[in-house]
Amino acid sequence: MDFALSPAQRDLADAARRYLARQYPPARIAALAGGPGGSEAGSWPELTRQGWLDDDLGLVELCLLAQESGYALHPTPWWSTVALAAPVYRAAGDKGADGPATAALRAGPGPTARGAGLDWTLTGTARRVPDAQPAVEIVVRADTGAGPALFAVATDGPGVALTALAGIDPLRPLSDVDLTAAGARLLVPPGTAAAVLAGGYRQAAVLLAAEAVGVAARTLDLAVAYAGQRSQFGRPIGSYQAVAHPLADGYAQTELARSLVYRAAWLAGTANLAGTADGGDPGGGAELARAVAAALIAARQAALGCAETAIQTAGGMGVTWEYPLHHWYRRALWCQAYDGLGGDPYATIADSLLGPADTVEAPSPRPGGAP
Amino acid sequence: MDLRDSPPQAAFRAGLRAWLRANLPAPGGPPPARDTVALRRFSELLHTAGYAGLTWPVQYGGRGLAPAFQAIYAEESALAEAPDQLNVIGLNMVGPTLIAHGTPAQRERYLPGILSGTVLFCQGFSEPDAGSDLAAVRTRAVGVPGGYRLHGEKVWSSYAHLADHCLLLARTGPAGSRHHGLTCFLLDLHAAGVTVAPLRQLSGDTDFNQIRLDDVAVADADVVGEVGGGWRVAMATLAHERGTFGVTLTARLSVVFDRLLATVRHTGRASDPRVRHEVAAIYTVLQGLRHTGYRALGALAASGEPGPESSVLKLVWSATNQRIGALALELLGGAAALDGRDALWGGYWQHHRLRSRANSIEGGTSEILRSVIAERVLRLPRSR
């Protein structure tokens, strides 16, 4: 039971942190957040060159990059590409897009597909798709009449209209994608779509959780730095326990979330390699599903909790627009709200431990109070 | 990163699991009651089977195994609802302290008995005026030819009513010398002038004790480490305990959590949305604790020193144990006001709720742990 990162993994994380610190200091983040596009796709060639899009990155490695991305608020479509689109391309054996990509995988009323063989068109609206504007392709879940299938749609093709939505986190903008008989490339047919979606949701959840841990860590670091410097009543405010103790709680929460992310990444990555991405072993599948759900719950709470504690620590400064903390808080809110992950993680765990809610019967009372 | 057991770890775990199954009743029923005789017998059984002193060096009778094996023992024995080892303080704290800081004579005299469970140790650190502020210890050790005479009072000493010996922290320096004037001693609890009296907790339990020392003689040979070096020895002793106890605490917590699930089903609340949500939330924290414990173990194995994770683990463990107990009693509804023979499992959850109030106080209060994290991990300026 060895959680230690390998030297190569540590180097990867360190290099990512240095690169992002150089490229995206908080002032640049603030400027990008205030600007028109929000997400900076111009850096794609550099990211590719640095290895962020390499095929042979395992899920643990991707988590390390996602953590650093959360820490820096990496303002490119990298996360949407590797967390949402890449798992589907890989499962389909497809080479993927030549540039940023994203995915619309949510169940429920959405686009429908018409066609056969390799010729399909999609009609309908995919809502709240992250990073759709800079994307070269969007992976779209559409109903074929014989069940959902997964398609790739080029964003510059006919019948594709993107409507940018106003969002709480300008660094990860959402769009509605209106498709009108838009040409689409079939990636995964109805027979295997369910398994691919399960694996895709899993990867997205783990990478969202990893990013959230990075967000939590950065807000804590910003708050600790502030508390060490800001003086009132003749002392740094960090020396007051009422200020320090919530930060200690935030640290504890973040470390527990980080452990869960590593574990979920290792389990899911191992499942991917063994080809059991659909949880073929019922016992193993349930453990993996719980592990991913727990990581997601813990990381989201850590990001929100640490961001709110950090703002409280920074006092009057913390609630200004100019103080950078709110950019991370907005990302934490985005992470909490994002619902493209296949279902409620609390329900996943409760179903696994107590059985599905609607089929549970009340037991008859027994004498003596014995269970 | 590889979260599976290594082959030797897997073999050890399998063998231990089989041994526990063969030597203990099946877990999951009403919590077993055990008397002192049964507990002593179990300690001796463990020693005979080779499960005592797993991480002790081989030259001192141990098996020289890495901390991961101690963690496997902690997990498997908790899951099997094995009794606490009576000599847990000797095995996990005093023994390693004597190995690191003791004289050859002390090691020869005490280590074999600690291993076999025939010599039971307790700890004598806290006092009425020295709890969180352990450096305020006032028990005096007055120098006399050949040794010292001890005067003072210790409280919160677990197992002192059963123990033969005590690792005691006393002041050899002048009053007010705080960390500098302290010395650790090996005290024979049967010596003249020693009075052990039980302290009753609000739960009704009496497994903590007060130790009064009236002019008790100890010899120079009973000093552990250096005279005046007691603070360092005491801190090292506490650090040994912290190395693997994160895994122990979490293993026990998972047994309590399983009882919570059984209670959810028993009370017909398994489809209650609020209960389901809270169960999932508690599960999430429990797994977070478990895997942070494993991470801490890895850091311990790599550096030889317990890291900051131990403070995090104890802090969150205590809150989570209290949280589980609160939900459980809520599930019992009006029957939560019953106790003993008229309550579920003989009042298990009632006892748990009362007893768990001390979890956030014993072994480092949550307030102190937060300050430790703030000052040593986050490097915030000291508050005191």
pTM of the model: 0.94
* Chosen domain end from A191, A225, A246: A191
Phi, psi angles (nearest 5°) of residue B286: -60, -45
CATH for the B233-377 domain, from 3.40.50.300, 1.10.760.10, 3.40.605.10, 1.20.140.10: 1.20.140.10
* Chosen domain end from A138, A159, A191: A191
Percent of chain A predicted with pLDDT > 90? 84
Averaged pLDDT score across all residues of chain A: 92
d(CA B218, CA B210): 19
Phi, psi angles (nearest 5°) of residue A261: -65, -45
Q: pLDDT digits over B266-292, tens only?
A: 999 999 999 999 999 999 999 999 999
- Model pLDDT, residue A148: 96
- Model pLDDT, residue A277: 46
Which band of pLDDT confidence, cut at 50, 70 and 90, is reported for residue A371? very low
Q: Write the DSSP string, B190-201.
A: TSTTEEEEEE--
Q: Are residues A163 and A212 in the same domain?
A: no
Mean per-residue pLDDT, A294-307: 98
Instruction: State how many domains chain A has.
Output: 3
Helices (H), chain B: 7-23, 36-49, 67-79, 88-89, 95-101, 104-116, 230-266, 273-303, 309-332, 348-355, 366-372
Q: Are residues A186 and A197 in the same domain?
A: no
Kindly report, as residue ranges, where domains of CATH 1.20.140.10 are found in chain B: 233-377
Whether residue A66 contacts residue A214, with contact meaning beta carbons closer than 8 Å, is answered with yes
Residue B227 has pLDDT above 70, yes or no: yes
CA B7 to chain centre: 29
At A281, which amino acid appears? D
Name the residue facing A357 among B268, B271, B309 (closest C-beta).
B271
* Alpha-carbon torsion angle B142, B143, B145, B146, nearest 10: 100
Q: pLDDT digits over B134-178, tens only?
A: 999 999 999 999 999 999 999 999 889 999 999 999 999 999 899
- Model pLDDT, residue A284: 58
Q: Are residues A168 and A201 in the same domain?
A: no
- CB B88: neighbour CB atoms within 10 A? 17
Name the residue facing A353 among B2, B283, B377 (closest C-beta).
B283
Which band of pLDDT confidence, cut at 50, 70 and 90, is reported for residue A367? very low
Q: Are residues A223 and A185 in the same domain?
A: no
- Model pLDDT, residue A360: 58
Residue A361 has pLDDT above 70, yes or no: no
Residue B321 has pLDDT above 50, yes or no: yes
Q: Are residues A231 and A342 in the same domain?
A: yes
Q: pLDDT digits over A44-77, tens only?
A: 999 999 999 999 999 999 999 999 999 999 999 9
CB contact under 8 A, B316 and A256: yes
Distance from the A363 Cα atom to the nearest Cα atom in chain B, whole angstroms:
6
Give the active site residue among B75, B76, B127, B241: B241
In order of B148, B172, B220, the CA distances from B145 in angstroms are 8, 14, 9
Mean per-residue pLDDT, A5-10: 93
Phi, psi angles (nearest 5°) of residue A311: -65, -40
The ipTM assigned to this model is 0.94
Q: Evaluate whether residue A88 is within a structural domain.
A: no
- For residue A271, the enclosing domain spans 193-356
- Model pLDDT, residue A38: 53
* Alpha-carbon torsion angle B80, B84, B85, B87, nearest 10: 160
Averaged pLDDT score across all residues of chain B: 93
Top-tier CATH class for B121-228: mainly beta
Q: Are residues A202 and A325 in the same domain?
A: yes
Q: pLDDT digits over B92-139, tens only?
A: 899 999 999 999 999 999 999 999 988 999 999 999 999 999 999 999
Whether residue A303 contacts residue A331, with contact meaning beta carbons closer than 8 Å, is answered with yes
- Model pLDDT, residue B341: 94
Helix (H, G, I), strand (E, B) or coil at B284: helix
Q: Are residues A232 and A306 in the same domain?
A: yes
Q: Are residues A41 and A120 in the same domain?
A: no
**B8-116 classified as CATH 1.10.3720.10:** no
d(CA A55, CA A77): 17
CB contact under 8 A, A346 and B271: no
Name the residue facing B276 among A220, A267, A357 (closest C-beta).
A357
CB contact under 8 A, A244 and B287: no
Per the listing, tokens 């389909």 go with A92
Q: Are residues A168 and A200 in the same domain?
A: no
Which band of pLDDT confidence, cut at 50, 70 and 90, is reported for residue A275? low
Percent of chain B predicted with pLDDT > 70? 99
Q: Evaluate whether residue A365 is within a structural domain.
A: no
Q: Which of these ranges, A130-144, A354-368, B41-55, B300-314, has the smallest mean pLDDT?
A: A354-368
CA A351 to chain centre: 23
Active site annotation includes B375:
no
Residue A369 has pLDDT above 70, yes or no: no
